[in-house]
Amino acid sequence: MHPAASVILFTTASGVGYGILALAPLLVAFGLLPDDNRWLGGALMIPALGLVTLGLLSSTFHLGHPERAWRALSQWKSSWLSREGVMAILSYPPALAYAYAWIVLGAVDGPWVWAGFATVLTAVGTLFTTGMIYRSLKPIPAWATDWTVAGYLTLGPLTGLVVIVAVATGFGLHPVRFQTLAIILVIAAAVAKNAYWSRQLKVWEEHSQTTGAAVASPGNTVRSIEWPHTEANYVLKEMGYRVARKHAEPLRHITRNLLLVAPAAIFCVLPSILPLPYLIWAVIPGAVLTLAGVVVERWLFFAEAKHVVSLYYGVD
């Protein structure tokens, strides 16, 4: 599948944003983040809302008719893309209310706590619907698995957490308080991505068909001898992207190291070893490395996924 830059930017940016929105109210509720620090609230909630807004806007860049984007909210009964749009819009009122309480009122209590829970639910809901868009596409066998959804549900909070830790450390909070959550999320993300990748390596042979089945000639060996067109057409440009597969293995290693090993070392181990003043110089690069890992992961997610239409072009 062709990895459109706007889609990679959208899912990465909004993943970080919804990750913060999904975790910050919980961390406040468990007393790991102070709700009486307005500046900390601003430094978390404003970037989070900015990132999800940036993500939403960039997702319209690749549309043929961005001015009609509002129509995408109408078909939530059948379409996961529509449901994602609805969830994304639904997340704004509670997130804005929660940000108002934290930043303007300087305390999250009473009904504002419920706004926090609503923020968590809608943020997780948006990540879930994003994953379901890809999971529901049967012609792309690599995507048609619950591990796709698990990837979106773990990587969003993981990237959200590394940003929260970097910001909180900047505010003088010792990152060791986030250690348990960091360990849980890194392990969950590692399980989800490794399961996705190991399934992906064999799914084409196991679940998809041959060119013979695609041309109503099952059981026979079918070799493509002439395409309908001499130049690449829309179908090949959009669905036949193959550059990444050549370098898939090294790129998976890079992703694994950036996305899983780096946060494991920096967020799970270092806080117990290093004193606070030095930790800020570890968690900021750590957050940057993790985000770079998600960009590579997202790019691979698209570029490595083969569409069954390539069978018609002789790719067995």
Partner 1 sequence: MTCLPEKTTRKLGLVIDLDTCVGCHACVTNCKEWNTGGHMAPLTDTNPYGAEADGVWFNRVHSYEVTTPEGNSQSLHFPRSCLHCEDAACVTVCPTGASYKRTSDGIVLVDEDKCIGCKLCSWACPYGAREYDVFEGVMKKCTLCVDRIYNENLDQEDRVPACVLTCPTGARHFGDLGDPQSDVSRLVRKREGRDLMPEMGYQPTNKYLPQREKSGAAGTETNQSPALAPLEDTSGASGLLGWVDRMLERMD
Enumerate binding residues for partner 1 (CB under 8 A).
1, 62-66, 68-69, 71-75, 77-82, 85, 133, 136-140, 209, 211-217, 219-235, 238-239, 307-309, 312-314
| Chain length of the chain | 316
Nearest CB to partner 1, comparing residues 1 and 40: 1
| Cβ atoms < 10 Å from Cβ of 108 | 23
Spatial CA neighbour of 161 closest among 188, 137, 136: 188
Nearest CB to partner 1, comparing residues 3 and 47: 3
Nearest CB to partner 1, comparing residues 103 and 203: 203
Report the nearest approach of partner 1 to the CB of residue 148 (Å): 14
Distance between CA atoms of residues 237 and 120, nearest Å: 38
Nearest CB to partner 1, comparing residues 47 and 316: 316
Output 36-44 pairs: Cβ under 8 A, ≥24 positions apart: 36/106, 36/107, 37/171, 38/102, 38/103, 38/104, 38/106, 39/171, 40/167, 40/168, 40/171, 41/99, 41/102, 41/103, 42/102, 42/103, 43/167, 43/170, 43/171, 44/20, 44/164, 44/167
Report the nearest approach of partner 1 to the CB of residue 102 (Å): 33
Nearest CB to partner 1, comparing residues 174 and 237: 237
> HSE (CB half, 13 Å, CA atoms) of 242?
8
Report the nearest approach of partner 1 to the CB of residue 306 (Å): 12
Nearest CB to partner 1, comparing residues 4 and 121: 4
Nearest CB to partner 1, comparing residues 64 and 250: 64
Kindly report the three-state secondary structure assignment for every residue of 228-286. Answer: CCCCCCHHHHHHCCCHHHHCHHHHHHHHHHHHHHHHHHHHHHHHHHCCHHHHHHHHHHH
What is the DSSP secondary structure assignment for residue 75, as one 8-state letter? -
